[in-house]
Chains A and B, each alone.
Chain A
Amino acid sequence: MPNSQTKTAATTHLAAEYKREIVEKVAVGLSGGVDSAVSLFLLKKKYPDIIAVFSDYFDCLGKPEDDTSCCSPGGLDRARETASFLNVPFYRMDFKEEFRTLVMTPFIESYNRGFTPNPCVWCNSRLRFSMFQDKLKSMGVTLFATGHYASLDGKKLCRARDLSKDQSYFLYAVERERFENVVFPLSGMTKQQVRKIALKENLPAASSVESQDCCILAQKSLKEYLKEKTGLKPGKIIDEKGGVIGEHSGYQNYTVGQGVALGGMNQKLYVSRILPGENKIIAQSREKIYRKDVEFRFNPKVFFASEGEKLRAKLRSTQKPGSCTIEKLDLKSNICKIKFKEPVWAPSPGQSAVIYRGEELCGGGEIIQ
């Protein structure tokens, strides 16, 4: 009876997690995906006074007004459908302007600096668990839930039980006070369980495809978008000594670690550095892209580790955390240097390095080198 097992697991988990004071009003951030839909379903059973809120981030991404393919992100319709199916009041909140200034503009700037940004990290810390949460709070909402796979131990941010789906990486920059009135109903569940519930309950989002890593690009390819926003200029690909070995289509199209196709070379090469000032890319052979040392700039408000500590770290959300040591902690410039035990693949400037002490996410920041 897999279904009843799923249900028991979920219910037990809820009972344990939410023994809180009487909650007057709960808001669930609905994205239109299956995770937030199941979160709403689970919480609705527990809290009668619950609302579902969709935060509208999307602008037309510069598309002309009469282009009917935009302005109707599928998520909105799916979210509304889900709320209506569960008979929960549904609201849409407009964050288009804020999304543009706090996520989109820095996203483009980061690429222009030769970096590879993590817009989801910004979205969570600058919008979702900031202005969005504040707005809900101002309206009397006392508990805020999202469909993230992450756990909370008090205000500590921890990994989700389903490590393959763990999304704590994307939440590292959220100030921990923000989690005081937050629940992640899926923290103890696997994606499989979540899907099962969605199917069993016939939730409209049950069959929705996995949300993309970069929701900004839901409507077009990264290449197309960057071309529009940055005016990509072709340039040279060089080797470590500066010799020209090929052409690139615009440095913003590249990420450290990305393979580059070069005609007439036997060995595949990978981007090791991006030089925006010169519009050049340095490519090297695979083994030279691995690094042991990584530096990142952190925000002290969300950094809870000390020099010399032996921890684990990861540089990509999907990566398995690897053992590392905090070699140097510069508290003046807020730069942390970690040394991995085993070399890690392609630290990409702009991406986030995130460190864990056991299950707890105890710091992170943007990779600078």
Chain B
Amino acid sequence: MRVYLDNNSTTPISDEVKKEIVSAMDVYGNPSSLHQFGVEARNIVEKARLRIAQALGCDNQEIIFTGGGTESDNLAVRGYLKTTSKKHIITSAIEHHAVYNMFNELEKEGYRVSRIGVDKNGILDIEQLKEHLSEETAIVSIMLANNETGAVQPIAEVVSAVKSIYPHIIVHTDAVQAFGKMKFKVKDLGVDLLSVSAHKINGPKGVGALYVRKGVKIKHLVSGGHHERNIRPGTENVAGIAGFGLAAELSVSGIDRNNGQLEKLKIKFIKGIRESIDNITVNGDPEKTLSNTVNVSFNNVEGESVIMMLDMHGIAVSTGSACTSGSLEPSHVLKAMGADPVSSQGSIRFSMGKYTTEDEIDYLLEKLPSVIERLRKMSPLERESK
């Protein structure tokens, strides 16, 4: 049996989306061309833009297509910073590396960075955020849902906290993990900039989008033609964008059904491991995390070994994010939550998707206890603790 429980890394492309991409590939015109070949391609791109705008609850002119979530994040923050002379920027301690490392680099480039902490459940400390806001603050970038724990952040509250004192400060949110997994409308969140990606919602890799609220100015990061309102030069990835449009529509229209199923499986899984494995910590408050994500620390084992052994049983999971798996460094997210560095070495992220079945969770619950037991028996950490 092969069980894919790493949907926060990436998801399988759905059949409908696959078909949409393939048929868009037959339309080979350049969307910027004036002739009919170009117009046909333009129509595909604009149809997708509308679908994404509807999924996000915004105007289609507020969507810029990019090459993925990481690019959207960079375009949002760096693109805005190019328009202002303010040098203070704020983020959280639990961002995805796309934002986390960008802020580290911005710091080296001379920006003053405030990194706001989280509580033990991985939820942003808004009071701390308020203390750091100032006239000099240019932008606040806080993710909507965390990729490792699924912890959902109070972005609407962040926006009102920021804007009520300093209306000029721009708020960006990385919604790559949240999009299609929780209900939200950009207008309700009130953010100025919001990043999404196609491959996390059963769409293709290498396509993303950035919501740019009307009236907010950002500048392009690479030079080129006039594509995407001069903000993102380069011929559009027409087929990918077509797939993204449909994937967005499907994920939002199916959100209640999916989440209902996922919530059930999540409860079953957490209950199951609590009954069959001792010395575990479920990271984050299950009530405040995405329905598809469960992050568990198994004391006295190494995450790397758990991944390998589960893989030998055909089960795919990961430690933190795919970008850090392979590294034994405790994740910065769990560290920020105050998790014990030793037990967070053995933390595993189980992320389900719309194709996850109850049988698969049963299979996982059948294999996982013996894997953990075996690894603990051989673990030097376990021996030391006895």
Smallest CB separation, A52 vs chain B (Å): 12
Cβ of A91 within 8 Å of any chain B Cβ, yes or no, is yes
Q: Give the contacts of A99-149 with B (CB-CB under 8 A).
A: 134-135, 137-140
Report chain B residues within 8 Å CB of A135.
302, 305
Which residues 37-57 of A sit at the B interface, judged by CB distance below 8 A? 51, 56
A89 CA to B310 CA, complexed, in Å: 13
B40 at the interface (CB under 8 A from A): no
* A275 interfacial contact with B, CB 8 Å: no
Task: Tell me, in angstroms, the Cα distance from A279 to B165 when the chains sit together.
Answer: 65
Shortest C-beta distance, A141 to chain B (Å), equals 10
Contact B312 A139 (CB under 8 A): yes
User: Is B342 interfacial (CB-CB < 8 Å)?
Assistant: no
Interchain CB contact under 8 A, A91 and B311:
yes
If A51-B312, A138-B378, A139-B375 touch, whether A94 touches B305 (CB-CB below 8 Å) is no
Give the one of A25, A94, A97, A139 with max B CB within 10 A: A139
Closest residue of chain A to B101, judged by CB? Answer: A65
CB of B308 within 8 Å of the partner chain: yes
Contact A56 B326 (CB under 8 A): yes
A92 proximal to B (CB < 8 A): yes
Find B375's partner among A25, A91, A96, A138 (CB 8 Å cutoff): A138
A231 to B379, CA, bound (A): 39
Question: With a CB–CB cut-off of 8 A, which chain B residues contact A218?
Answer: none
- For A134, the closest partner residue in chain B by CB is B378
Instruction: Please indicate the chain A residues that have their CB under 8 angstroms from the CB of B183 in the complex.
Output: none
> Chain A contacts of B378 at CB under 8 A?
134, 137-138
The reply to whether the CB of B222 lies closer than 8 angstroms to some CB of chain A is no
Q: How many angstroms between the C-alpha atoms of A94 and B302 in the bound complex?
A: 11
Q: Is the CB of B309 within 8 A of A140?
A: yes
How distant is B57 from chain A, measured CB to nearest CB, in Å? 38
Question: Which of A25, A51, A138 is the one whose CB lies under 8 Å from B374?
Answer: A138
B322 lies within 8 A of chain A by Cβ? no
Asked if B327 CB lies within 8 Å of chain A CBs, one says yes
CA distance A187 to B45 in the complex (A): 61
B323 at the interface (CB under 8 A from A): no
B375 in contact with A94 (CB, 8 Å): no
Q: Write out the residue numbers on chain B whose beta carbons fall within 8 Å of the beta carbon of A91.
A: 308, 311
- Min distance, Cβ A145 to any Cβ of chain B, angstroms: 17
* Contact across chains for A97 and B328 when beta carbons are under 8 A apart: yes
Contact yes or no, A140 B312, CB < 8 A = yes
Give the contact-size bracket for chain A.
10 to 19
Is A92 within 8 A of B326, CB to CB? yes
Q: Is B59 an interface residue (CB 8 A)?
A: no
Judged by a CB distance under 8 angstroms, whether B304 is at the interface is yes
Which of A58-97 touch B at CB < 8 Å? Answer: 89, 91-94, 96-97
B interface, by DSSP: helix, strand, loop or mixed? helix
How far is the CB of B325 from the nearest CB of chain A, in Å? 9
Known interface pairs A134-B378, A138-B378. Does A89 touch B328 (Cβ–Cβ under 8 Å)? Answer: no
Which B-chain residue is minimally distant from A137 (CB atoms)? Answer: B378
| CB-based nearest B residue for A66 | B105
A135 to B375, CA, bound (A): 9
- Taken residue by residue from 296 to 321, chain B's Cβ proximity to chain A (1 for < 8 Å, 0 otherwise) reads as 00000010110011011000000000
Residues of B within 8 A of A93 (CB): 304, 308
Given contacts A138-B378, A138-B379, A140-B374, contact A89 B305 (CB under 8 A): no
Nearest CB in chain B: distance from A43 CB, A: 17
Contact residue among B327, B374, B377, B379 (Cβ-Cβ distance under 8 Å from A94)? B327
User: Which residue of chain A is the closest to B306 with respect to CB atoms?
Assistant: A139
The answer on a CB contact under 8 Å between B304 and A89 is: no
A89/B326 in contact, CB under 8 A = no
Task: Give CA–CA (A165, B309) in the complex, Å.
Answer: 35
The answer to whether A139 and B305 touch (CB under 8 A), given A89-B312, A91-B311, is yes
CB A223 to nearest CB in B, in angstroms, measures 30
Of all chain A residues, the one with the shortest Cβ separation from B307 is: A91
Residues of B357-382 contacting chain A, CB below 8 A: 374-375, 377-379
Q: A89-B311, A89-B312, A91-B311 are in contact. Are A138 and B305 (CB under 8 A)?
A: yes
CB neighbours of A56 from chain B (8 A): 326
Once bound together, how far apart are the Cα atoms of A128 and B311, in whole Å? 22
Q: Which residues of A contact B305 (CB under 8 A)?
A: 135, 138-139
Q: Tell me the bound Cα distance from A246 to B321 in angstroms.
A: 56
When chains A and B are docked, how far (Å) is the Cα of A297 from the Cα of B172? 63
CA of A237 to CA of B312, assembled, Å: 59
Q: How far is the CB of B1 from chain A (nearest CB, A)?
A: 15
Q: How far is the CB of A67 from chain B (nearest CB, A)?
A: 15
Q: Are A139 and B308 in touch, CB under 8 angstroms?
A: yes
Task: Sample 27 A-B pairs with CB under 8 A, ordered by A number.
Answer: A51-B312, A56-B326, A89-B311, A89-B312, A91-B308, A92-B326, A93-B304, A93-B308, A94-B304, A94-B326, A94-B327, A94-B328, A96-B327, A96-B328, A97-B328, A134-B378, A135-B302, A137-B378, A138-B305, A138-B377, A138-B378, A139-B305, A139-B308, A139-B312, A139-B374, A139-B375, A140-B312
Closest 8 CB pairs of A and B: A138-B378, A139-B309, A94-B328, A91-B308, A94-B326, A138-B375, A139-B308, A139-B305
B residues within 8 Å of A by Cβ? 302, 304-305, 308-309, 311-312, 326-328, 374-375, 377-379
| A binding-site residues for B, Cβ under 8 Å | 25, 51, 56, 89, 91-94, 96-97, 134-135, 137-140
